[in-house]
Amino acid sequence: MENIRMKAYAKINLTLDVLGKRPDGYHELSSVMQSIGLCDTLLMSKTPRQGIEIKTDCLELPVDEGNLVYRAAQCLLSAYKVQQGVFIELQKRIPIAAGLAGGSSDCAATLLGLNKLFELNIPQKRLFEIGRQLGADVPFCLMANEAGSPTTALAEGVGEQLTPLPSHPEAWIVLAHLPIMVSTKTIFSRWINNAASSAKSTDMVNAFATGNINEVASSLSNALAPVAMALHPKIDALMMALSAQNAIGVNMTGSGPTVFAYFFTETTALRAIEYIKQQFPDCDFFNMKVELKQKEERM
């Protein structure tokens, strides 16, 4: 095999509980994560000389050690003493710094792709260990990208403890990405421990057991949303606008600024997008159906 193509799927946080700060400085989390059809594409090719070369269509991304794709490739090739180099072309569709784990998913796709490209036969457990060192969302993205189909899991610890959950019930999801920069570090630093609002993932796990989209939608939560909305009121306004368009559930993913909403039908989802575009003309919208096989298109 001389080259390989990998898809790197975005994720959304259906719940995000912050349970406290650990002695190592990280926060203890509990989150139900869902992979979705929006994805980046990575094309990887062997090169005769050692080294890593990255090309991307996203001018905002670095192509050196500042890119998780580079660091993932460097880590794997060095650890397993691969003598050849690699050229990686990254085609971005997932907005960066959006709470959608775009960088983590690209990192995970790199680990999976290079393992296959160089026939390293690295076991899944070891890939997860490497991924955990590179980012908290990487283990879930490894699970989702390897499956290649919609994946749901409860992530605990700092994201490395994964428990697969039943398939997501069918629904239409609208993603709305605001062009604002949200500092994850700032959001976490301003989070205030509130047990009453930071232990919702168990409700979501129970909702998935029912297979009922109404139960799932009513269990959406994010402990970081109040902090993000206080710093960026536009996130709150966007969530309220989606709720007013007959959404059956609305949530913010990660530390923001992307929000998403559930709709029963494609027609109501598209109608909501067209209406809200008038209020948020600078917002990027993505519309997709979550089911056993996903289809996705950018609006």
Q: Where in the chain is the domain with CATH 3.30.70.890?
A: 171-298
Q: What is the CATH number of domain 3-164?
A: 3.30.230.10
From 106, 137, 200, 289, active-site residue = 137
Q: How far is CA 277 from the centre of its chain?
A: 23
* CB contact at 8 A, 85 and 49: yes
- Is 137 noted as a catalytic residue in this protein? yes
Which residue type is seen at 171?
A
pTM of the model: 0.94
Query: 154: closest CA among 109, 107, 217, 199?
Result: 199
pLDDT at 194: 55
Per-residue pLDDT of the chain (299 residues; tens, 9 = 90+): 899 999 999 999 999 999 888 777 678 899 999 999 999 999 999 999 889 999 999 999 999 999 999 999 999 999 999 999 999 999 999 999 999 999 999 999 999 999 999 999 999 999 999 999 999 999 999 999 999 988 999 999 988 899 999 999 999 999 999 999 998 889 988 887 654 455 789 999 999 999 999 999 999 999 999 999 999 999 999 999 999 999 999 999 999 999 999 999 999 999 999 999 999 999 999 999 885 444 444 44
* Residues 6 or more apart in contact with residue 36 via CB below 8 angstroms: 9, 10, 11, 12, 150, 173, 175, 288, 290, 294, 296
pLDDT at 297: 46
CA angle 243, 258, 103 (to 5 degrees): 155
Q: Where in the chain is the domain with CATH 3.30.230.10?
A: 3-164
Concatenating the DSSP letter of every residue in 147-195 gives HTS--EEEEEETTTEEEE-PPPPPEEEEEEE-S----HHHHHHH----G
pLDDT at 296: 44
Tokens linked to 276: 């809200």
- Is 293 noted as a catalytic residue in this protein? no
Angle formed by the axes of helices 102-117 and 138-147, nearest 10°: 60
How crowded is residue 58: how many other Cβ atoms within 10 Å of its Cβ?
16
pLDDT at 184: 87
**In this structure, CATH architecture of domain 171-298:** 2-Layer Sandwich (3.30)
- In the block, tokens 């206080």 appear at 230
Which residue type is seen at 209?
A
From 11, 92, 200, 289, active-site residue = 11
* CB contact at 8 A, 61 and 67: yes
Query: 82: closest CA among 131, 55, 120, 121?
Result: 120
| SS3 category, 247 | coil
